[in-house]
Homo-oligomer: A and B are copies of this chain.
Amino acid sequence: MNATATTPSLPAIPDTLTRSVEDYLKAIYRLSPEGQPASTSDIAHLLELSAPSVSGMVKRLSELGLLEHVPYKGVQLTDAGRRAALRMVRRHRLIEAYLVQFLGYGWDTVHAEAERLEHAVSDPLVERMAAALGHPVADPHGDPIPDADGAIHEPACTPLAGMSVGDTAEIRRVDERDAERLRYLASLGLVPGVAVTLRDRQPFGGPVTVEASGERHVIGPELAQVVLVRSEGDR
């Protein structure tokens, strides 16, 4: 006998999200750090799923209030969605840091392990790991770790590919997803914290030559794109 006309029974956000949902939210966050809409096909590509699967999930998640979806335009996280996404980002990066620090993992293998563990750890365990690490601000790849309230500081970084010849900068962040690429970069000594100087750039998308720790290396343009640096000037 409730006479108030309500909107047609919106489902509430469940207290525990599934592994799939958590990965979707994390992917959408990654695709739109500034909040611009993410496209169905970009999400599908990142998660290695078909576009119709993503369309279906996007519909469900927007009905749950985790996303705003404008058909044919893209999706944006709501506040609740962004909170949930940042919670996963914090878990992922803290787990990576913990495994490297305390269990001898290398930066090339931690990502795959964290991709599964992030869904299985409890909040108290995450916080115990954070405490054991001394509350680090970045993971082994240089990616910043949001605090427990979801606040995150993305340091200003530009691709190494964008440096000018003669410039010196510090490596800050490296894309974590390709283990082989990470091993190669480590073998060259191109890891976060290292100072690099651009010594040469070949035209027409050619390779660049960088100097780091006294050694010179010629690296291809797409590699130079995923290594992010902070230039001397950007303080």
Task: Answer whether residue A119 sits at the interface, using C-beta atoms and an 8 A cutoff.
Answer: yes
Task: Answer whether residue A117 sits at the interface, using C-beta atoms and an 8 A cutoff.
Answer: yes
Set of chain B residues within 8 Å of A122, measured between Cβ atoms: 112-113, 116
Chain B proximity mask over A88-104: 1 for CB below 8 Å, otherwise 0: 00000000000100111
Cα A155 to Cα B75 with chains together (Å): 58
Instruction: Give the distance to chain B from A224, nearest Cβ to Cβ, in Å.
Output: 32
Q: Which A residues fall within an 8 A CB radius of B?
A: 99, 102-105, 112-113, 116-117, 119-122, 125, 128-129, 132
Cα A104 to Cα B103 with chains together (Å): 16
Known: A105-B128, A113-B122, A120-B120. 10 other contacts (CB 8 A): A102-B132, A103-B125, A103-B129, A112-B122, A116-B120, A116-B121, A117-B117, A117-B120, A117-B121, A119-B120
Cα A215 to Cα B129 with chains together (Å): 37
Instruction: Give the distance to chain B from A179, nearest Cβ to Cβ, in Å.
Output: 13
Oligomeric state, in copies: 2
Set of chain B residues within 8 Å of A120, measured between Cβ atoms: 116-117, 119-120
B103-A132 in contact (CB<8A): yes
Cα A113 to Cα B104 with chains together (Å): 22
Instruction: Give the distance to chain B from A121, nearest Cβ to Cβ, in Å.
Output: 7
Taking A119-B120, A120-B119, A120-B120 as contacts, is the C-beta distance between A125 and B113 under 8 angstroms?
A: yes
A102 to B, closest residue via Cβ:
B102
Set of chain B residues within 8 Å of A105, measured between Cβ atoms: 128
Cα A116 to Cα B121 with chains together (Å): 8
Instruction: Give the distance to chain B from A108, nearest Cβ to Cβ, in Å.
Output: 13
A128-B103 in contact (CB<8A): yes
A115 to B, closest residue via Cβ:
B120
